[in-house]
Amino acid sequence: MKPNRILLLACFFVSGLCGLIYQIVWMRLIGFVFGNSVYATATVLAAFMGGLAVGSFFGGRVADRCTNRVRLYGILEIVIGVYCILLPLLLSLATPLYAAVYQHSEGTSGLLTIIRAVICGALLILPTTCMGATLPILLRHFVEDGERLGRTVGLVYAVNTFGAVAGCVAAGFLLVPALGINKTIIIAVILNLVVGIYAVAVGKAPDEYTPEEPESEDARSEVAGLHYSGWEAKAALIVFGLSGFCAMVDEVALTRAFSLLVGSSTYAFTIMLTAFISGIGIGSLLLARKIDPRRDLLFGIALVQMGIGACMLLAVILISEFPKAMVHLILRFQTSFGMLQFTEFLYLFLLLLAPTALMGVMFPLTTAVWTRSVESVGKSSGEAYFVNTLGAIFGSLAAGFLLLPILGVQLTLESAALLNFAAAGFVFFASKRRKFIVRVEGGLAA
């Protein structure tokens, strides 16, 4: 039985949903053991994203060689579900170890942070690696030709991102408050197992699309659209890493600003995360449809980075209106907690829609530039996601431990915007350099 494309996309939506449920639940669980400080939160996020980065890197390499990617995806989902039901037990076994280290650390916060990171990394590496591997594996399954590469990558990425939005809302507002952590984990595990079993069942036959190997480098460049040199493709990849760094700095800084107004509750974090991810999903779904491989995608990346920087500078100006807006909302909806939360989300969503939508188109754009052939979509998308996630890890740590304590919220956001502009200039130079070389070579040939 061949897997239905719509049902398989629905499965990937559920994968994103479960992933965010786990992230929020793990933050709570590990916070009970290691404390709920900003440093603990940053450490858990870094460990989570580190596993995603590792999974995407190695999963991309496996995806290009595997002939039954749907079944492999299903196996990974089953592994995630089985492990996550055991994680609370594993965490309880690790608690005495952390307590012993804490007693002998004599209050050395640096040592405790390192030990916390090691324990979190060890506990989360398996499920998060599996999660990270699913994206390049399914991308390789869905991409059938270079002409629609950007649009297909945008669609698949958007489906998973919207699933993450649903998981964030479900965990933060519905499941955890109503059912508690343990029952929320069980629901997510059941969903993982259902998705995994379905994928394994329908993935018995090899993937239907098995393109022939292009005969030459020229053939490969024709599949992907414009031919980009190795230096140009690396420039796009570097900028995507910088974009991930800036995006996480923006998210952490805005979360801090928002929490100062409404309190650092789970609801505040969930509202900010939901607004941020929603915009990324919209950008990946709608803007990626405009990607034409015959156009200069490097120039497109430069424009996107400039747009992100400009929008974030505008957001810094509008943030000054936060206190007035929050006071007005609280007075108006003081008798309706649900309407207050929804209005706060809507305010942030509209504020962040433009920059986050532009962030969302960066993944399909970069993948389209970095990919040399359809046969290497898994490897190239995995590498692009790896570099971006690595940048996000450093952005999270830099914002939490360095930028915000030293610069404060406003200067941190302005610094990230300036880095966006610098990234735009870098890739713009790469684009102009390519056009100059093409003109010179054309003149010599004439």
pLDDT at 288 over 70: yes
Q: How far apart are CA 396 and CA 53, in angstroms?
A: 14
**Mean pLDDT throughout 188-195?**
97
Q: Which of 172-176, 205-209, 274-278, 395-399 shows the lowest mean pLDDT across its residues?
A: 205-209
Angle at 103 between CA 99 and CA 105, to 5 degrees: 110
Tell me the H-state helices in 35-68.
Answer: 38-65
Q: How far apart are CA 247 and CA 406, in angstroms?
A: 19
pLDDT at 394 over 60: yes
* pLDDT tens digit sequence for 308-332: 999 999 988 887 777 777 677 777 7
Q: What is the pLDDT of residue 195?
A: 97
- Tokens found for residue 134: 């699913």
pLDDT at 388 over 70: yes
**Mean pLDDT throughout 164-180?**
91
Q: How far apart are CA 24 and CA 378, in angstroms?
A: 28
- Share the mean pLDDT of the chain: 83
Of residues 88 and 183, the one with the higher pLDDT is 183
Single-letter amino acid, residue 47: A
* pLDDT tens digit sequence for 403-423: 999 999 899 999 999 999 999
Q: How far apart are CA 191 and CA 187, in angstroms?
A: 6
Q: How far apart are CA 30 and CA 82, in angstroms?
A: 19
Question: Which DSSP string do the residues of 66-86 spell out, in sequence order?
Answer: -S-HHHHHHHHHHHHHHHHHH
Residue 422: partners with Cβ closer than 8 Å, 6 or more residues away: 242
Of the chain, the percentage scoring pLDDT greater than 70 comes to 81
Of residues 313 and 219, the one with the higher pLDDT is 313
Of residues 6 and 3, the one with the higher pLDDT is 6
Q: Which of 5-14, 284-293, 320-329 shows the lowest mean pLDDT across its residues?
A: 320-329
Q: What is the pLDDT of residue 210?
A: 44
Q: Which of 62-71, 258-267, 288-297 shows the lowest mean pLDDT across its residues?
A: 258-267
pLDDT at 48 over 70: yes
331: Cα within 13 Å, side-chain hemisphere: 6
* pLDDT tens digit sequence for 221-241: 444 445 677 888 999 999 999
pLDDT at 178 over 50: yes
Contact of 135 with 63, CB cutoff 8 Å: no
Single-letter amino acid, residue 384: A
Q: What is the pLDDT of residue 441?
A: 45
- Tokens found for residue 30: 């590990």
Start-to-end C-alpha separation, the chain = 56
Please give the model's pTM, rounded to 2 decimal places.
0.85
**What is the pLDDT confidence band of residue 42, given thresholds at 50, 70 and 90?**
low
Q: What is the pLDDT of residue 439?
A: 45
Of residues 19 and 117, the one with the higher pLDDT is 19
Cα separations in angstroms, 337 against 24, 172, 268, 297, 344: 21, 14, 13, 45, 11
Q: What is the pLDDT of residue 337?
A: 67
**Mean pLDDT throughout 135-140?**
94
Q: Which of 39-43, 244-248, 398-402, 432-436 shows the lowest mean pLDDT across its residues?
A: 432-436
Q: How far apart are CA 99 and CA 206, in angstroms?
A: 49
Single-letter amino acid, residue 344: E
Contact of 181 with 30, CB cutoff 8 Å: no
Closest CA to 250 of 420, 412, 406, 119: 412
CB atoms within 10 A of CB 332: 12
pLDDT at 245 over 90: yes
pLDDT at 440 over 50: no
3-state secondary structure of 264: coil
Q: In this structure, what are the phi and psi dihedrals at residue 207, rounded to the nearest 5 degrees?
A: -55, 140
Exposure pattern of 345-369 as b/e (b: 16+ CB <10 Å)?
bebbbebbbbbbbbbbbbbbbbbbb
Contact of 272 with 348, CB cutoff 8 Å: yes
Q: How far apart are CA 414 and CA 431, in angstroms?
A: 26
Q: What is the pLDDT of residue 261?
A: 67
* pLDDT tens digit sequence for 50-70: 999 999 999 999 998 888 899
Q: How far apart are CA 360 and CA 288, in angstroms?
A: 8
